[in-house]
Amino acid sequence: MSVTWNEYYQKVASQPHRPNVERAANLLTLNNKIAIDAGCGVGRDSNYLLKQGFTVYAFDTHQDAVETCLTRFEGNPNFSISQSCFSDFHYPQCSLFIASASLFFCPSERFESVWQRINETLQPGGIFCGDLLGIHDSWVDANTHPNISAFTKEEVEALFEDYEIVHFYERDEDGSTAVGSTKHWHMFSITAIKR
CB 143 within 8 A of CB 171: no
Domain ranges of the chain: 5-10+18-163
> One digit per residue, pLDDT tens: the chain, 195 residues?
444 666 666 666 677 899 999 999 999 999 999 999 999 999 999 999 999 999 999 999 999 999 999 999 999 999 999 999 999 999 999 999 999 999 999 999 999 999 999 999 999 999 999 999 999 999 998 777 778 999 999 999 999 999 999 999 999 999 998 878 899 999 999 999 999
pTM of this structure: 0.92
Domain 5-10+18-163: CATH class, spelled out: alpha beta
Dihedral of the alpha carbons of 107, 109, 113, 114, in degrees to the nearest 10: 10
pLDDT digits over 54-63, tens only? 999 999 999 9
Q: Which amino acid is at 132?
A: L
